[in-house]
Amino acid sequence: MGTEFSKKLAAHTTPIPGVVLYDLPVHGDNRGWFKENWQREKMMALGLPDFRPVQNNISFNEKAGTTRGIHAEPWDKFISVATGRIFGAWVDLREGPSFGAVFTAELDPGQAIFIPCGVGNAFQTLEDNTAYTYLVNDHWSADAQGEYTFLNLADETASIAWPIPLEEAELSDKDKANPRLADVVPMPRKRILVVGADGQLGKALRKLYDGDSAVEFAGRAEFDLGSDASFGARNWQNYSTIINAAAYTAVDAAETPDGRRTAWAVNVTAVARLARAAVEHNLILVHVSSDYVFDGTRATHEESEPVSPLGVYGQTKAAGDAVVSVVPRHYILRTSWVIGDGSNFVRTMASLAERGVEPSVVNDQVGRLSFTEDIAAGIRHLLTTGAPFGTYNLSNDGEPQSWADIAAEVYELTGGARTAVTGVSTAEYFKDKSAAPRPQTSTLELGKIAAQGFHPPSAGTRLRDYLGRDVRTHPEDAGVGPSR
| Catalytic sites, residue numbers | 71, 134
d(CA 59, CA 378): 44
Helices (H), 103-255: 173-176, 200-208, 228-232
Residue 322 phi/psi, 5° resolution? Answer: -60, -40
Helix (H, G, I), strand (E, B) or coil at 350: helix
Report the relative pairing of strands 26-29 and 32-35 from DSSP bridges.
antiparallel
Query: Which residues lie closer than 8 Å to 117 by C-beta, 6 or more apart?
Result: 72, 73, 74, 75, 76, 94, 187, 190
Nearest to 399 by CA among 469, 459, 313, 334: 459
**Vertex 484: Cα angle to 232 and 213 (nearest 5):** 50
Determine contact, residues 321/289, Cβ cutoff 8 Å.
Answer: yes
Name 287's bridge partners.
Answer: 244, 332
Between the alpha carbon of residue 469 and those of residues 250, 463, 465, the distances in Å are 26, 10, 7
For 222-268, give the DSSP string.
T--TT-HHHHHTS-GGGEEEEEE------TTGGGSHHHHHHHHIIII
3-state helix, strand, coil in the chain (%, to 5): 30, 25, 45
Measured from the Cβ of residue 426, the count of other Cβ atoms closer than 10 Å reads 17
